[in-house]
Chain A
Amino acid sequence: MKEELAKRIVQSLKDAGIDFVTYLPETRLSQIVPLIQNDPGMELIAAASEHEAVTIAAGATLGGKQAAVYMENTGIYVSSYSLLTVGKQLGVPLLLVVGYLGGVPDQRNSFLYATIGNHTIPVLQGLGIEYMVLESGEKLETKIKDAVRAMNALRGPFALLFAGEFSI
């Protein structure tokens, strides 16, 4: 992804009120990690599993932060239990910033990723988690702000799936 897009993602997260990010790095959006790390207005916490990343972010939200979890879409499968329990059942807003590998708009799609991508949206739907697919930087700031407002209104996780321009 172009450096400019990475900067716009991080700035938009910050402008939307996100001040706490847990993560497990992946390939498509990894340029955002050092940008978040170097931003004094955001706390970045490395987790060892996406399940853990979701639970830490949920605790931080209950403690007064506005939290995002950055992960690959495979992390949706790993964390589906905590997304359902602490996310949906307890009702804790969380912004899922997801590298959408293997989806149709993934510009680096291959036989390695296609199955992973094929199941992402049905699994989110099965979990009852609303989502938005982003393929370009058009209205990026507005879309991220909309997602943060939606997660707070819904009292639960909301997923942003990044592909297209973001996956180059």
Chain B
Amino acid sequence: MIRHECLELLATNITNQLVVTSQSGQRIEWSQLSSHEGNLLVGMMGCAVGVGMGLALALPHRKVIVLDSDGSVLLSLFNLATLGNLRPKNLVIYVFDNGVYSGSRISYPTATSGNTDLEAMAKGAGIENAHTIRNVEEFKNKGIEALTRDEPAFFVCKVEESLMHREIPRPNTDLAENKYTFVRYLERTEGKPIPFIGRG
């Protein structure tokens, strides 16, 4: 299974969910597959799960999806303990675990190529609904199905390293532009202003 196959499936299931992406390949692949205004392309490792949690807590009636990677989750492992205690019912996290720091261009292994099991760590941190997914069928049956449930979910999607994202033009939407598109989309769909925008 490669990440792009999962993202293709996910893209056909996006309606009004909010999607937060981390750095690396999935940001580029997701930008190509989805022009959804509810996409927030947080282009930094180790930040997407936290931002996703904040959104999920602020908007408990909206489903929030986080697309992350093994390297990024390993950078912010404390997120697992906080998630395991907060358990926001509207948050679904997909960790595309290719076992390497692919963005480094030398693809050296992450800890998940060794002895580290992110599903076991998530469960140990209190995230009961944590699963490892190993093929597209499972991604469809468990991963996509989780979007219809009112409970938190944490999926470790074991994928082969794919360099497809290097062939895709990088998104040219800058961070501020993306942020304002996202916030304006929220204002429209929530029917209320986002306070920090204010008036000039």
The 9 closest A-B pairs by CB, nearest first: A59-B54, A55-B50, A63-B58, A48-B78, A59-B51, A60-B54, A85-B44, A56-B54, A60-B58
Q: Are A51 and B51 in contact (CB under 8 A)?
A: no
A109 to chain B, nearest CB (A): 29
With A20-B58, A48-B81, A90-B42 known to touch, is A58 a contact of B50 (CB < 8 Å)? yes
> What's the count of A-B pairs with C-beta under 8 Å?
121
The reply on A11 being an interface residue by CB < 8 A is: no
Binds A, one of B93-101, B131-139, B152-160, B174-182: B174-182
Among B56, B58, B86, B183, the most chain A Cβ lie within 10 Å of the Cβ of B58
B195 contact from A43, A48, A66, Cβ within 8 A = A66
**A145 to B46 alpha-carbon distance, docked (Å):** 31
Interface residues of A in 19-68 (CB under 8 A from B): 20, 22, 43, 45-49, 51-52, 54-67
- Size range of the interface on B? 35 or more
Q: Is A93 an interface residue (CB 8 A)?
A: yes
Known: A17-B195, A64-B192, A65-B58. A59 touches B179 (CB 8 A): no
Using CB atoms, name the residue of chain B closest to A48. B78
Asked whether A86 lies within 8 Å of B196 as measured between CB atoms, the reply is: no
With contacts A45-B86, A52-B78 taken as known, whether A66 is within 8 angstroms of B53 at the C-beta atoms is no
Interface size, chain A (Cβ < 8 Å): 38
Contact between B82 and A64, CB atoms less than 8 A apart: no
Contact with B along A112-141 (1 / 0, CB 8 A): 000000000000000000000000000000
Which partner residue on chain A sits nearest B20 by CB separation?
Answer: A59
Is B190 positioned at the interface, with any CB of A under 8 Å from its CB? yes
Task: Tell yes or no: A143 within 8 A of B by CB.
Answer: no
Task: Kindly report which residue of chain B lies nearest to residue A86, judged by CB atoms.
Answer: B47
B153 CB, min distance to chain A CBs, angstroms: 18
Taking a contact as CB atoms under 8 Å apart, the answer to whether B195 and A85 are in contact is: no
CB of A24 to closest CB in B, whole Å: 10
Collect the chain B residues with CB atoms within 8 Å of residue A55's CB. 47, 49-51, 53-54, 76
Tell me whether A82 is interfacial, beta carbon within 8 Å.
Answer: yes
- Cβ of A91 within 8 Å of any chain B Cβ, yes or no, is yes
**What are the residues of chain A within 8 A of B51 when measuring CB–CB?**
55-56, 58-59, 62, 86
Q: Is the CB of B82 within 8 A of A62?
A: no
- CB nearest neighbor in B for A152: B196
Among candidates A52, A54, A64, A155, residue contacting B190 with C-beta atoms closer than 8 Å:
A64
Which listed residue (B50, B176, B194) contacts A82, Cβ 8 A? B50
Query: Beyond A48-B81, A56-B54, A56-B57, is A66–B196 a contact (Cβ under 8 Å)?
Result: yes
What B residues does A65 contact at CB under 8 A? 54, 58, 195
Whether A51 contacts B190 by the Cβ 8 Å rule is no
A157 to B22, CA, bound (A): 21
Pick the contact of A47 from B59, B82, B176, B196 — CB < 8 Å? Answer: B82
> Nearest Cβ in chain B — how far from A125, in angstroms?
22
Say yes or no: is B73 at the interface (Cβ < 8 Å to chain A): no
- Contact status A62-B44, CB under 8 Å: no
- Please judge, given known A-B contacts A55-B50, A55-B54, whether A61 and B196 are in contact too, CB under 8 Å: yes
Contact check: which of B44, B58, B192 meets A59 at CB < 8 Å?
Answer: B58
Residues of B close to A46: CB separation below 8 A: 82, 85
A111 to chain B, nearest CB (A): 29
